[in-house]
Structure 1
Amino acid sequence: MRIISGLHKGRKLLAPKKLPVRPTTDMAKEALFNILNNRYYFDEITVLDLFSGTGNIAYEFASRGTENILAVDDNFGCIKFIRQTSESLDMPIEAVRSDVFRFLENNTKQFTIIFADPPYDFDQNLFEQIPELVFKNNLLEESGLLIIEHSKHTDLSNINNFSFTKSYGGNAFSFFE
């Protein structure tokens, strides 16, 4: 995985092979950040990265100047890797080991951007629970955005607060406002 832009532009990070992850491709990540770059000043936002895996998305936000990033994953190895990497690169990422659904149910802090990259083989009802919990618990700031990464074969357009989907290769991002 590679950091696309910002302070650590071009830096390659190698995650341990044993982690149960599927990092967002560089092409899809670059396209996503082009969309976000037109909406936000990265140094003025707060970010919640759900199902963080390797921390790929959190590192990109940090490299671009975001100072308040919370990464959540239930895998100990993933959280350990994120903590080690963010510390070695002096990035302001707090990594928390938690079940994402439990975290969303209990968290009270609001975020500008909530990015979720759940397993692509999730049942439709699990995908639907993510925006349901985010909006029920008022976790987005007024100008906030929830982004769910999923397979291009998954359709989330029938979920409340859906705005639009962008597809890149086999990946898709659904945006909720």
Structure 2
Amino acid sequence: MRIVAGKFRGKQLEAPKSDDIRPTSDRVREAVFSIIGSRIGPHLEGLHVLDLFAGTGALGFEALSRGADHCVFIDTGIEARGLIRGHIEHFGVGGQTKLLKRDATDLGPAERIKPCGLVFADPPYGKGLGEKAIASALSGGWIAPDALIVLEERKDVAIEGPTGTQIVDRREYAETAITFLEVA
């Protein structure tokens, strides 16, 4: 795994040792960011990013590489948080990141976290956790009113946008589906 584009282009991301973490492939990440570029613009300057079920943090680090100002990584897994901490140190982005051990489906209020304009949700497949996490983030004030949300799921799983969102695009890559939602 590597960062596909931006200031960290080509830098390696440490791969997980367990099968509990399923990183988004480089090819899918590249396609996702191409679509994000067509919707938001190729440069993500000024954006605050929320990476739910962060795993290795690949999506959030890709956003930082492409100019995002800040990224909040959410994961409860010990290995995931260890990988993300290592990547934060390796990329030297401690001042641009926050790593939180929280249940993405029960975030609570954002408190001092600025609402995010780009949100990634890459939950364990087939459990409906992505929609629950997005609903939790919306109700807690974690997501900005004009945000773009990227939800990764197995392609045979039907997605219903949580209240307050609308599905604007869906792409399939092998067994994976990427659904793009906007805050309505």
Query: Shorter-chain TM-score category?
Result: 0.7 to 0.9
Conserved in 2, the CA contact under 8 Å of 1:62 and 1:93? no
Distance 1:114-1:58 versus aligned 2 partners, 3 A rule: same
The aligned counterpart of 1:85 is: 87
**Cα gap change, 1:127 to 1:89, in 2 (>3 Å):** closer
State the match for 1:99 in structure 2. Answer: 103
Percent same amino acid at aligned positions? 28
How many residue pairs end up in the alignment?
174
Amino acid at match of 2:61: Y
Q: Aligned in 2, Cα 1:65/1:158: closer, same or farther, shift over 3 Å?
A: closer
CA–CA separation in structure 1 for the residues paired with 2:144 and 2:106? 20
2:154 match = 151
Structure 1: which 5+ residue stretches go unaligned? none
Question: Deviations for 1:97-149, whole angstroms, at most 9, x for unmatched residues?
Answer: 1111222x332441101111000131x3x343233223333432232112211
Q: TM-score, normalised by structure 1?
A: 0.88
Task: Tell me the amino acid that sits aligned with residue 119 of structure 1.
Answer: P
Question: Residues 55 and 170 from structure 1, CA distance in 2 versus in 1: closer, same or farther, beyond 3 angstroms?
Answer: same
Contact 2:48 2:68 in 1 (8 A): yes
TM-score, normalised to structure 2's length? 0.85
2:181 corresponds in structure 1 to 176
- Structure 1 consecutive aligned stretches of length 4 or more whose deviation exceeds 4 Å: none
| Aligned-residue RMSD, C-alpha | 1.9
Aligned counterparts of 2:134 and 2:67: Cα–Cα separation in 1 = 26
Within-5 A mapping of 1:118-133: 118-122=123-127, 124=128, 126-133=129-136
Letter in 2 for 1:50: L
